[in-house]
């Protein structure tokens, strides 16, 4: 059977790289985001629109990358985070579960789900999120697990560390540092006591592709 991939957040930093890689492999791809540049322009919280899209396209695999990443702990972020990560993931999994053949679901998680847990993290580390982003993404991961329980379709959540690469917006550490160096500007930093495991975007995309094609039963966090 030919592969048909739907990518939420498909016009974003990771989604655009993934879409190009899948198309090079001959996969039929449709991107979904709020951007007019997407194949399907939609808000994840619009359950009716989402149901119509997945019914029309009937994907064999879904990459759920749509997110509002932020390490801030401000309370005013909760509503937007909940809408995208919780309500959006719920609407997506409900729509997919209604298909005659529910597809494999691969979701991008985050190290923010581990939050205040003792580093270094592993898949067995207890999740202790400390931000609206981490908390709502953890709920999204649970919704993916419930999707597998309800449908029997395999699902995986890949909790990526700090991603970098061409196209990353300037609001992140490495792009900001590079821009400052190129401009000859001073770069304000902390004392440098943090430890980070940076991951190149192509390597994460390769992991997403492997999760979509490797033998997989049930639900897995990686």
Q: What is the pLDDT of residue 170?
A: 64
Residue 146: which pLDDT band, with cuts at 50, 70 and 90? Answer: very high
Q: Per DSSP, what are the bridge partners of residue 5?
A: 29, 61
Closest CA to 57 of 36, 42, 37: 42
Q: CB count, 10 Å around CB of 104? A: 20
Task: Give mean pLDDT, residues 31-35.
Answer: 96
For residue 42, give Cα distances in angstroms to 51, 60, 93.
Answer: 11, 20, 15
pLDDT of 173 over the 90 cut: no
Q: What is the pLDDT of residue 1?
A: 64
pLDDT of 46 over the 90 cut: yes
Closest CA to 115 of 125, 136, 131, 129: 129
Q: What is the pLDDT of residue 39?
A: 97
The three-class DSSP label of residue 197 is coil
Task: Give mean pLDDT, residues 163-181.
Answer: 81
Reported as a single tens digit per residue, the pLDDT across 50-102 is 999 999 999 999 999 999 877 677 777 889 999 999 999 999 999 999 999 99
């Amino acid at each position: 059977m030919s592969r048909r991939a739907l990518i939420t957040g498909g016009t974003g930093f990771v989604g655009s790289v993934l879409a190009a890689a899948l198309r090079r492999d001959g996969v039929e791809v449709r991107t979904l985001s709020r951007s007019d540049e997407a194949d399907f322009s939609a808000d994840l919280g619009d359950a009716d629109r989402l149901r119509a899209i997945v019914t029309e396209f009937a994907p064999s695999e879904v990459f759920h990358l749509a997110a509002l990443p932020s390490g801030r702990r401000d309370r005013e972020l909760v509503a937007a985070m909940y809408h995208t990560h919780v309500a959006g993931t719920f609407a997506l999994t409900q729509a997919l579960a209604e298909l005659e053949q529910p597809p494999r679901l691969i979701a991008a998680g985050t190290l923010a789900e581990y939050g205040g847990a003792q580093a270094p993290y592993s898949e067995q580390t207890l999740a202790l999120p400390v931000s609206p982003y981490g908390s709502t993404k953890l709920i999204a991961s649970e919704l993916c697990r419930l999707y597998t329980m309800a449908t029997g379709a395999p699902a995986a959540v890949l909790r990526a560390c700090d991603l970098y690469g061409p196209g990353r917006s300037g609001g992140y550490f490495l792009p900001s540092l590079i821009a400052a160096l190129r401009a000859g500007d001073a770069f304000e930093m902390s004392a440098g006591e943090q430890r980070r495991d940076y991951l190149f975007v192509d390597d994460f995309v390769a992991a997403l592709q492997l999760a979509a094609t490797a033998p997989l039963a049930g639900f897995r966090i990686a």
